[in-house]
Amino acid sequence: MTTLLAAGLFVVVVLVVWLAIKTAESRQRSSGVESQVSELRRDLQTIATSQAQSAGQIAAIGQSVTQRLDSVTKTLQDGVSQSAQLSAQSQSAMAAELKNSQQTLGEIQKQLGAVQQTSSQMSQAAQTLQTILGGAKTRGSLGEVTLERMLEDCLPRDGYARQHRFRSGEVADAVIFLRDKLLPIDSKFPLDAYRRLGEEGEEARRAFAVAVKNHADAISKKYVLPEEATLPVALMFVPSESVYYELLMTSDAKSVPLDEYCRSKNVVAVSPNTLYAHLQVILMGLQGMQVEENAKRLQESLTGLENQLDKFLEPFTKIGTHLKNAAQSYADAEKRLDKAENTLRLMVGGESQPELFDPAPEQPTLPSTQKQSA
């Protein structure tokens, strides 16, 4: 029982102490709160003073803002009216531009229709051309026709021949006559191999190289015939510049360019442009040969004339000698005639008769007028 009382007293004491501590803390808090309230009051008074001052500033600012708003409102009204005018003008201009654009679009549509129609016609023409050139024989004929036209335009008619047949039985598409030599030209290029390049790729390129090499071998074998007065070279006519460019840019399996391989076989690949240049050089050579031939003929004619002059000189010299003798005889006869005439006149006049013939050397005879005056 005593223990319980002691414990109760201890609890009471602890509570009293705790209450005392809390009371002291509350007082401290109250004093802090009061100081904070005092500071808040001062701040409120300061704020109120500032508000009073700000009210005057706000009124001035409000008046200034009102004035500015009135000015801005007037400016906006003027801008709106001007914008309305500009909008009306813009709408009319846009309407005119839209009308012009519609007309332009109509013309463009008409032109597009014409272009589409032309494209369709070109496509049909291309298909027709592809059909025409579908066979190797037809493409070969095209190359022959192109070659023939170029020969006609560049060379005289007697400077070349078409479809020349050799003793071996082979027929060259054309040969050019270079005095006593022949320059063969072949126009049957393997265009089928080139046409497959766009369809089969690299494999077709190898086939193209093989076809060109085989064609060059055949030309060299059939047309390079020195025993039949041909030059040691032949021309391989490629009837297209694009095909000729492909030939120049392609090499065989041994990395040898096709044009170099052709030259090694005494075959020169030519396109329409390069063949034209070759033909112009050949034409100049033919003209030079003709000039040389004419010079030889003139030399022969001059030599013949010189021989004729030599033959004519001998009788001409004889005739000159005879003419000189005849002139001398005539002069002598004339002198004797003058003497006879003088003697006759003296005899008719009764004067002494001189000798008719004077064996002495002849003296110069005076003219008859001088004799009469003497």
**pLDDT digits over 254-292, tens only?**
889 999 999 999 999 999 999 998 888 888 887 877 777
pLDDT value of position 366 = 41
What is the C-alpha to C-alpha distance for residues 235 and 143, in angstroms, rounded to an integer? 13
Residue 158, in any domain of the structure = yes
How far, rounded to the nearest angstrom, does the alpha carbon of residue 147 sit from its chain's CA centroid?
A: 23
pLDDT value of position 374 = 34
pLDDT value of position 125 = 52
Residue 367, in any domain of the structure = no
Residue 102, in any domain of the structure = no
Contact 237, 228 (CB under 8 A): no
What is the C-alpha to C-alpha distance for residues 249 and 22, in angstroms, rounded to an integer? 109
Longest CA–CA separation in the chain, Å: 245
Residue 139, in any domain of the structure = yes
- 3-state secondary structure at position 233: coil
Confidence of residue 5 (pLDDT cuts 50, 70, 90): low
Contacts of 231 (CB under 8 A, 6+ apart): 178, 181, 182, 183, 224
pLDDT value of position 368 = 42
pLDDT value of position 30 = 65
Higher pLDDT, 84 or 226: 226
Residue 4, in any domain of the structure = no
Residue 67, in any domain of the structure = no
Q: 306: which 2 tokens? A: 């010189």
Domain that holds residue 288: 133-298
Residue 328, in any domain of the structure = no
Nearest Cα neighbor of 189 from 262, 84, 90 is 262
Residue 286, in any domain of the structure = yes
What is the C-alpha to C-alpha distance for residues 132 and 147, in angstroms, rounded to an integer? 19
For the question of whether the overall pTM of this predicted structure is more than 0.85, the answer is no
Percent of the chain with pLDDT over 90: 13
Q: Is 198 exposed, middle or buried (0-12, 13-18, 19+ CB in 10 A)?
A: exposed
Q: In the 8-state DSSP scheme, what is residue 176? A: E
Domains of the chain: total: 1
pLDDT value of position 239 = 87
How far, rounded to the nearest angstrom, does the alpha carbon of residue 128 sit from its chain's CA centroid?
A: 30
Please give the C-alpha separations between residue 14 and each of 18, 21, 25, 114, 149, in angstroms, as whole numbers. 6, 11, 17, 115, 137
Mean pLDDT of 17-35: 71
